[in-house]
Amino acid sequence: RLHLVTWNVGTASPPPDVTSLLQLNSLGPAMDMYVIGLQEVNSRITNFLSDLAFDDPWSIFFMTVLSPLGYIKLSSVRMQGLLLLIFVKHVHLPFIQGIHTHYTRTGLYGYWGNKGGVSIRMSLYGHTICFMNCHLPAHMENTEQRLDDFEKILEMQFEGENVPSPLGHDVLFWFGDLNFRIADYGIHFVRESINNKRYNLLWEKDQLNMAKKTEAFLKEFIEGPLQFKPTYKFDLYSDVYDTSEKKRKPAWTDRILWRVKNLCQDASKEGEFSEEEQTISVTLNNYVSHMSYGISDHKPVTGTFGLELKPILSVPLVVLNPEGEWSAERDVIIRYSAVPEFPSSAWDWIGLFKVAFRHVNDYVTYAWVEDDEISSNKDSKQVYMSAAEIPNMGGEFLLCYYSNNLQSIVGISEPFQIQPSRTSVEKDLTQEENSWMQKPDNLESHDGS
């Protein structure tokens, strides 16, 4: 289950709550993956330089919301105002490999990153998937420029890298502030159609729908029905369309589309396609806008998808476990085994993480698999961690094996408890006694007893 968000945030700070945006209260099973594409993230030079050194406020915000729920930030890519974040449930980490990020500038003839595209690609259970967040040129008359820019982004992403082009992936998701407008109709007809919820009257004059009929490279992209109000342009903190002097015409600028490679190839073979050959399928469960968010002049749009995969990669490359009971009193041991074809490296490491860790560098401590190895046989190896590295307070943790060659986590343990050290328990008890002794005398009951 994949939940994809696109939102032009108009340089605003994160809102106080994103429960409905991320459908955190939905009754069905939890999402397996969140893909969040933002446009116009505040990119003033000072902000941008500090964001390059540290995570930007939006990344920190979504990590704070999602990491306690068991999601880790798998990857992110930023180009000025464009930001793409992917979060996944821990259980999927060993089956995600080949993560690459890329960006393509198209603003100012390719020299400026205010417009363009950012992508994250990966192999998920052996299938190649690419997510592409774009911000294309604005204004009614720039349809051709939008199409040219998107074609250029498709050609340039991952160029020269040892991975397929976006269209070469099994599944490609394309989303963002694509800036396509509603042509021909006047503002009064458009607003009247919206007020009467007769959105279908506007579909045939939507520039993206029109382009999909004529442009070969767009024909294979699928989009859900636009059964929500156009998401641009609103007065801030309202659901009222633009009341400024410009009175811009409403438009569905914020879109989510996808393309499944096998379907495209099989459709062209006419009649040779059998259901059994399809090893990956995409189902759109929900395509909606979220009118309650008013921090920018765009409303966010989300798509909730079911991805059905026939796993090509179904066994983790590394299985690892803590040996015995762990506490900060003594050195501890990790046992792990790898599949025969696993490309191990001297730079591989095993990290100890709190259960609600945010990203791969959010470890408490780590051990090098070669330097800290203490025993090895044909079935498994043992690595030690020094007691000095183990958190005194104890708690719930897990272990992750990071592969340097694959640049990803390839094994993850079940969560386990670390017992607190005796000194930290005694310290807690002493603090408790002290705080009890220091309680003010006026806590006596009212009857004086």
- In this predicted model, which residue has the larger pLDDT, 432 or 125? 125
Query: In which residue are the tokens 């105002």 written?
Result: 81
Whether 447 has a pLDDT exceeding 80, the answer reads: no
Q: What is the pTM of this model?
A: 0.90
Burial class (CB in 10 A: 0-12, 13-18, 19+), 446: exposed
C-alpha span between 65 and 68 (Å, rounded): 7
Degrees, nearest 5: CA angle 173-179-181: 120
Domains 2-309 and 318-433 share a fold: no
Pairing type for strands 349-354 and 395-403 reads antiparallel
Residue type, 206: D
Residues 6 or more apart in contact with residue 323 via CB below 8 angstroms: 332, 333, 334, 335, 382
Task: Give the pLDDT confidence score for residue 55 in this predicted structure.
Answer: 74
Answer yes or no: are the C-beta atoms of 187 and 205 closer than 8 Å.
Answer: no
Poorest-pLDDT segment among 81-95, 187-201, 254-268, 434-448: 434-448
What 3-state DSSP class applies to 70?
coil
Whether 224 has a pLDDT exceeding 60, the answer reads: yes
298: DSSP letter:
B
Residue 134: in which H helix or E strand, if any?
strand 127-135
Each residue of 413-428: pLDDT tens digit?
999 999 998 876 565 5
Whether 437 has a pLDDT exceeding 90, the answer reads: no
C-alpha span between 303 and 255 (Å, rounded): 9
In the chain, the N- to C-terminal Cα span, in Å, equals 61
Of residues 187, 230, 222, the one with CA closest to residue 206:
230
Each residue of 367-403: pLDDT tens digit?
999 999 999 998 999 999 999 999 999 999 999 999 9
- In this predicted model, which residue has the larger pLDDT, 28 or 179? 179
C-alpha span between 168 and 272 (Å, rounded): 21
Going from N- to C-terminal start, the domains of the chain cover 2-309, 318-433
C-alpha span between 152 and 106 (Å, rounded): 8
Each residue of 69-113: pLDDT tens digit?
999 999 999 998 999 999 999 999 999 999 999 999 887 665 555
Task: Give the domain 318-433 fold.
Answer: Immunoglobulin-like (2.60.40)
pLDDT band for 43, please (50, 70, 90 cuts): confident
C-alpha span between 2 and 285 (Å, rounded): 10
Task: Give the domain 2-309 fold.
Answer: Deoxyribonuclease I; Chain A (3.60.10)
Q: What mean pLDDT do residues 271-291 have?
A: 79
Each residue of 290-328: pLDDT tens digit?
999 999 999 999 999 999 999 999 999 999 999 999 998
Task: Give the pLDDT confidence score for residue 337 in this predicted structure.
Answer: 97
Burial class (CB in 10 A: 0-12, 13-18, 19+), 186: exposed
Residue 130: in which H helix or E strand, if any?
strand 127-135
pLDDT band for 262, please (50, 70, 90 cuts): confident
pLDDT band for 276, please (50, 70, 90 cuts): very low
Q: What mean pLDDT do residues 189-213 have?
A: 97
Mean pLDDT of the chain: 89
